[in-house]
Every structure is written in structure tokens, then in C-alpha cells.
Chains A and B, each alone.
Chain A
Amino acid sequence: MPEFEWQFTLVLLTNGVMIGLMYALIALGFVLIYKATDAINFAQGEFVMFAGFIAAGAAEILGAPFWVSALLSVSGMVLLGFGLERVVLRPLIGRPVIAVVMATIGLAAVLRGTATLAFGAGTRAIVMPIGDEPIELGPVMLPPVQVVGAVVSIVFLAAFSWFFLKSRIGIAMRAVADSQQVAMAMGIDVRRYFALAWAMAGIVSALGGVVWGTMLGVDNQLALVGLKVFPVVILGGLDSIIGAVVGGLIVGIVENLAAGYLDPYVGGGTKDFAPYILMIAALMIRPEGIFGRRRIERV
């Protein structure tokens, strides 16, 4: 049945692309912070989870319609981004990288705990007013959530690419990332740009939280999508938006192909670790990722 095989591959690839774009959206939050502040945010998954909780909580507890709860999630995460930068991360500016890493790991635990405390341990739902009739594209059936997620991803990835390449604020942000000292000598208030980066990561995380929350349901497990950020950004490059897209697509596709072609033979499981094998290989071959900036360091 060669034709069936071909269709099966097409389905796997299309799903991989859709999921991959949604990974890219979450990875974008990570990249924004790394690009602007050099900080590695280990709480990215928890940001997404927390955003999902705000959206689901607003809908279930307040009875807010979908758009209102999505908007509440975005504004809540912007505030959280600003707040965390001010209270937790700003005092750590100039400290060794490990201090920031540990702080974000701590933050992750705090966010998980706070979410459970505020919203309970049960799984909550986010309901997008788009129905769940699958969208047919030839042989491929796509859940509407995935299509919305992919579209949101593309729009925001493009918007942020433009922002860094062309807008004044974006260029200033790149300057800050390149050399804080020189940026300061240009009159750029570095701390404002750090705050802005965290707020932007908050926006992206909120979108990710709503989309992923709709697909998977909202509970503590939602934070686990954050773990996929690491293979994505290592493959694509820690500081590259286009790298987040390409890395996301690679991870999404590899995951789906593994699920389709390998899992049936070994009884499952390869889907979950295939991206990480790729990540380890990438670290050995090209540690700065496909699009990452190679840092030349003098020893």
C-alpha cells in the first residue's frame, strides 16, 4: 500500500509542523529573555502554565468569555514579567550566570506552587470558541486549536523578528544584549529594556498558555511543555528568533516521525526522547545552534 504510506507520512509531517510552530511560540519567550538580558529562564514552562491557569481560572471562576480571559492572561503575565524582573532578577544583574539560573529554577517551583494554591490541583479547561470539528486538508485532519496555535505563532514570530530588525526599541534592545556598558554610554537605560524583555516574554507565554492549555488542559503538567524549549533553542540557537522557528519545526517533526515509525516497533516512548538525542548531538557538533551567534571568547 505505497499510497497509504505516503499519506501517513504527510499526516505525521503536517502534525509535526503544527506542533513545531507551537513549540516555537514557547521557545520565543525564552529567546527574547536570553537575547536581551543573557539570562537563561528555566521557568519558561511555568510561565506558560501560569498563563494557562489565569485564562482557565478567569473563564471558570469569573465566567469570563474566552477573549476576555485570554486578554486577562496576557495582561496578568505582562505584570508578572515586570514584577519578577524588578523584584527577583534586577538585583542579580552583574552576578554570575549560575545565580540567575538558580533563581529562575526557584521561580519555577514558586509558580507551580502558587498556581496550585490559587487555582487548585484539578485540571481545568480553556474553551476556544472555535468548535472542535477537525479541519480537513486533503488526507490530513487538523484540530482547529492547532491551526489557531500555528497561526498565532507565525504572526508573533514575524512581529518580533520585525521588531528586532527594524524598530528603534528593538535595535536598542539588541544593543543592550550586545554590550550593556556601551549601550549605557549611548544613554540607553538598560534596566528598562530588561523589564521590557520580561514583559514581552510574558505576552508570548500567555499566548502559549492559552493555546497549549486549550489543547492539553490546564494543570501542573502543562509546565512540562517548557522542557521542550531546550531542544528547540539548542538546535536553533539560543538568541535567534528564526532559530526558534526552525528548532521548533525540527523538534515537532522528529517527534511525530518517531511516534509514527519507531514507537509501534518498540512499544512507545521514542517520541519523548528523540528530540533530546538530537539536542545532545547538536551540542557536540554545533553548540551555538543553527542560527545562534558564535561567541568568540578570548582566553
Chain B
Amino acid sequence: MSGDVNGGEVSPGEAQLAISGVSKHFGGVRAVEAVTLSVRSGELISVIGPNGAGKTSLLNMISGFYRPDTGNIVFAGKDITGARPSHVAALGIARTFQNIALFAGMTVLDNIMLGRHVHMKAGVLSSFIYWGLAQKEEIAHRARAEELIELLELEDLRKQPTSGLAYGLRKRVELARALALDPKLLLLDEPMGGMNQEEKEDMARFVLDVNQQWGTTVILIEHDMAVVMDISDRVAVLDRGRKIAEGSPGEVQRHPDVIRAYLGTAKERREAAAA
């Protein structure tokens, strides 16, 4: 099928997330074309590819922002193809966004507490009627938020409005907010984009910690190949909407189609620059 490298491929039975033959077209643009990808529970898999390869579109289909034109997506045994994003989140899939998407005008803590929203049972009416219960619930969620603040080393920033924070810190707050959902599967869209080397290393460490300590499955979109090859269990490569390879970091790096996709674009870039 797509790609010759099948090392580590997951049989559908043991997959936590099974994406089968998923396509998404926008007018004439085939953003994603018949992509099949399975992810095991607890795995850290990276999705790489040149710009416009369809990585974010694939993520958007998993999290329910796009409805696939064909194919289906099964998570933890449930078909989530075309499910509403809020429903997908409630099932245990959290995400971050390529462009930081924190709630403006709110503090770091408010943002993280919003990530707890899915776990809060008290509704509008009941929170007015059973004041005590809602308060108790609030305290438990606050404790969880504190753990995340500690994990991501945000202690000094709790009450700060996110809009004033440095770029790298805002990315970190966004990760904390996604983790606040206690997700089984975490989708990270370029969490290290635009960061300096030190910030990248910190972020890589946080992602690895979450993956290894809590066993959270991670799907990572990232352009920094050193980071990707360093922390991923497996790598899938997309090019022009198609999956061209999948395997261990070592296998993928040697794969001729991958080399062609990357060097090809580099060559085109050189030609464009020369012209």
C-alpha cells in the first residue's frame, strides 16, 4: 500500500487509534489522500512532512474539526469519524494548536482550569443549587491544575494573564491546558515551532515525561528533525496528502521516498532561489 517500510506497523486489533483510508479535499486541493495510520496505546508517534503535506488537516480530522470525505477513524473502539470536537475531547483526545490558541485576557490558571472542563460534572443549575458540591469539585480540579503547573514549571505565572507571556511560555501553558483534560491521546501541532534551542529541549523533555510517566499516547507534528528522531517511537511521513513512509526513526531516515520528498523540495527551493 503506501510505503514499503512496514516496521512496527500496528494490527487494527491492538490500535488505540485506527485511521483507515481517510481523505479530505478542499475544492481541487487533496489535503489528505487515503491515509491509513494506526497508533498503539502509549506510543509516541511523529507525523512529519514538508509544508502543506496534510499533517494539520489529519490532526483536524482526528479532533473533529474536519469531517473526512472518505474513510473512518476509530478511537478506543469507538467510531469518531465526523464526531463533534467537544465529543472527541470528552472521549480523551486533547490537542494544542499550531498558532498558540490560549484564551486571551485570562490567567494561566484560568486557561488550565478550562482544560478540566470535561471532567466537571456540576452543571449550570446544579452548581447553583448544590453550592457545596460544586465547591468541592472545584477544589479537586484545582489540585490537578496545580500538579500540571508544577510539572511544566509555571509556578510563578499562575495569576498572570497569558497575553503578556513570552512565546515559549505560552506554548508551555497550552500544553498544560491540553494535559488538564487527562487525555489518553495527546495531539501536538508543532509544539516547538518558533522556539530557541533551550526552549525546544525543555518542551521535548516535558513531552517525553508525559508519554513515559503517564503512558499518554502522543501524536506529534514537528519540523525539527533532531527532536523528532530523538524522541519518537515511530515516524509517519506525509507528502502532498499521502503517507509515503512509516517506521522507526532510523528506517524512515533511510527511506528513498522520504529522502526524495525532503531533498526534492530542497532542490526546488534552490532552483527557485536561483531563478
Binding site for B on A (CB under 8 A): 167-169, 171-172, 174-175, 178-179, 181-190, 196, 293
Let me know if B110 is at the binding interface, CB within 8 A.
yes
Q: Which of B101, B114, B138, B177 has the most CB of A within 10 A?
A: B114
Known contacts A188-B86, A196-B124: A181-B65 contact under CB 8 Å: yes
Say whether A185 contacts B94, CB under 8 Å.
yes
Among A171, A187, A293, contact of B181 (Cβ-Cβ < 8 Å): A187
Question: Which residues in A have their C-beta under 8 angstroms from that of B113?
Answer: 168, 171
Q: How far is the CB of B197 from chain A (nearest CB, A)?
A: 28
Say whether A293 contacts B103, CB under 8 Å.
no
Docked CA distance A188–B181 (Å) = 11
What 9 pairs across the A-B complex have the smallest Cβ distances? A187-B118, A187-B89, A184-B85, A182-B101, A189-B86, A187-B90, A178-B103, A184-B86, A175-B103
Q: How far is the CB of B254 from chain A (nearest CB, A)?
A: 36
Say whether A187 contacts B101, CB under 8 Å.
no
Binding site for A on B (CB under 8 A): 63-65, 84-86, 89-90, 94-95, 97, 101, 103-106, 110, 113-115, 117-118, 120, 122, 124, 127, 134, 138, 177, 181
Say whether A172 contacts B117, CB under 8 Å.
yes
> Main SS of the interface on chain A?
helix
Docked CA distance A46–B159 (Å) = 41
Docked CA distance A169–B127 (Å) = 9
Say whether A171 contacts B110, CB under 8 Å.
yes
Q: Which of A172, A184, A186 has the most CB of B within 10 A?
A: A186
Docked CA distance A179–B97 (Å) = 12
Which B-chain residue is minimally distant from A172 (CB atoms)? B117
Say whether B114 contacts A186, CB under 8 Å.
yes
Which A-chain residue is minimally distant from B90 (CB atoms)? A187
Question: Which residues in A have their C-beta under 8 angstroms from that of B97?
Answer: 182, 185
Known contacts A168-B138, A171-B106: A185-B89 contact under CB 8 Å: yes
Known contacts A174-B103, A175-B103: A186-B181 contact under CB 8 Å: yes
Docked CA distance A182–B96 (Å) = 9
Question: Which residues in B have their C-beta under 8 angstroms from that of A183?
Answer: 114
Known contacts A184-B84, A186-B115, A189-B86: A168-B120 contact under CB 8 Å: yes
Which B-chain residue is minimally distant from A177 (CB atoms)? B103
Say whether A185 contacts B63, CB under 8 Å.
yes
Question: Which residues in B have their C-beta under 8 angstroms from that of A196?
Answer: 124
Docked CA distance A228–B138 (Å) = 40
Docked CA distance A172–B110 (Å) = 9
Question: Which residues in A have their C-beta under 8 angstroms from that of B94?
Answer: 185
Among B85, B104, B106, B127, contact of A185 (Cβ-Cβ < 8 Å): B85
Q: Name 24 interchain pairs, CB-CB below 8 A, sorted by A.
A: A167-B127, A168-B113, A168-B134, A171-B110, A171-B113, A172-B114, A174-B103, A175-B114, A181-B85, A182-B97, A182-B101, A182-B103, A184-B64, A184-B65, A184-B89, A185-B101, A186-B86, A186-B181, A187-B117, A188-B114, A188-B117, A189-B84, A190-B86, A293-B105
